């Protein structure tokens, strides 16, 4: 499993502890949040060390080719910046970088938490359209398809469901009243099942 924009790596760490037979990779463009958790996984297992997790500093724009095709699951929680643009505006080149990570039966799960007022500056900077379910079903589904993903589930999470998301930002934003939580789940389609992306 690969978690892109993993931040402090809490999600990867907890999953890796619960499923010792699976391998977990956390990726983030920024080195700072990765420092503590990278040190922790290399400790003695009795002191929190984990042999089935690794953290990599890399941006979605420039992922190491060693990760191609290795992921049964790719997760993205509370993206911002270009990672947010990739999944919320459907940037085809960046979505293709996500697709490259997926194995044949791989899937992508995205959780986006935006507040139209508080995040206005970032929403405008990235040129994002309001993230309604209708927008996902029409425009975003088409862009995901062109990049090799078929969206098969999407929806909004109720406040009570925030608890199910075990990340630092889920905890941090839980109390924020105006923030809507939207999720998208897409399966990777086989090469040839999707058209070549249009040049933009
Ligand atoms: C709001 S934090 C969410 C962190 C974590 N997923 C969570 O839920 O606690 C967004 C993270 O995405 C990372 N990020 C932003 N753009 C990225 C990109 N292009 N490639 C990889 N990581 C990126 C940031 O460095 C940041 O750590």
| Per-residue pLDDT tens digits of the chain, which is 200 residues long | 999 999 999 999 999 999 999 999 999 999 999 999 999 999 999 999 999 999 999 999 999 999 999 999 999 999 999 999 999 999 999 999 999 999 998 999 999 999 999 999 999 999 999 999 999 999 999 999 999 999 999 999 987 888 889 999 999 888 778 888 999 999 999 865 555 444 33
Encode 176-194: b = buried (16+ Cβ within 10 Å), e = exposed.
Answer: eeebebbbbbbebbeeeeb
**Residue 29 sits in which domain range?**
1-57
Pick the residue whose CA is nearest to atom 24 on ligand 1. 5
Number of helical (H) and strand (E) elements in the chain, helices listed first: 8, 7
Pick the residue whose CA is nearest to atom 10 on ligand 1. 79
Q: Which residues contact 147 (CB under 8 A, 6 or more apart)?
A: 90, 92, 95, 96, 98, 99, 194, 197
182 shares a domain with 128 = yes
Q: Please tell me the total count of domains within the chain.
A: 2
171 shares a domain with 106 = yes
End-to-end CA distance of the chain: 31
197 shares a domain with 152 = yes
121 shares a domain with 75 = yes
99 shares a domain with 23 = no
Which of 56, 46, 48 has the alpha carbon at shortest distance from 24?
56
pLDDT attached to residue 96: 97
pLDDT attached to residue 160: 81
Q: State the Cα–Cα distance between residues 176 and 169, nearest whole angstrom.
A: 11
180 shares a domain with 130 = yes
83 shares a domain with 51 = no
Other Cβ atoms within 10 Å of 67 Cβ, number: 18
Residue 183, Ramachandran bin (φ over 0: left; ψ between -120 and 50: alpha; else beta) = beta
185 shares a domain with 118 = yes
Q: Which of 12, 38, 57 is where one domain is finished?
A: 57
Please indicate whether residue 77, judged by its CB atom, sits closer than 6 Å to ligand 1: yes
Q: State the Cα–Cα distance between residues 48 and 45, nearest whole angstrom.
A: 5
Q: State the Cα–Cα distance between residues 73 and 188, nearest whole angstrom.
A: 10
Q: Which of 38, 57, 76 is where one domain is finished?
A: 57
160 shares a domain with 125 = yes
pLDDT attached to residue 76: 98
What pTM was computed for the model?
0.94
pLDDT attached to residue 185: 98
117 shares a domain with 43 = no
Q: State the Cα–Cα distance between residues 118 and 177, nearest whole angstrom.
A: 11
95 shares a domain with 6 = no
34 shares a domain with 93 = no
Residue 69's CATH number: 3.40.50.150
Pick the residue whose CA is nearest to atom 27 on ligand 1. 7
Å from CA of 4 to ligand 1 middle: 7
């Amino acid at each position: 499993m690969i978690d892109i924009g993993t931040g402090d790596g809490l999600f990867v760490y907890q999953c890796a502890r619960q499923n010792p037979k699976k391998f977990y990779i956390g990726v983030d463009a920024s080195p700072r949040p990765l420092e503590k958790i990278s040190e922790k996984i290399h400790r003695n297992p009795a002191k929190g060390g984990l042999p089935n997790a690794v953290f990599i500093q890399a941006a979605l724009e420039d992922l190491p080719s060693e990760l191609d095709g290795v992921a049964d699951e790719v997760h993205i929680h509370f993206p911002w910046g270009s990672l947010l643009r990739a999944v919320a505006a459907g940037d085809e080149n960046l979505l293709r970088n996500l697709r490259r990570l997926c194995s044949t039966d791989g899937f992508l799960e995205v959780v986006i938490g935006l507040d139209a007022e508080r995040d206005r500056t970032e929403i405008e900077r990235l040129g994002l359209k309001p993230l309604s379910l209708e927008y996902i079903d029409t425009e975003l589904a088409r862009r995901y398809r062109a990049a090799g993903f078929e969206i098969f589930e999407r929806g909004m999470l109720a406040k009570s469901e925030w608890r199910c998301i075990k990340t630092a930002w889920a905890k941090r934003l839980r109390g924020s009243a105006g923030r809507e939580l939207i999720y998208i789940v897409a399966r990777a389609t086989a090469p040839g099942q999707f058209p070549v992306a249009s040049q933009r």
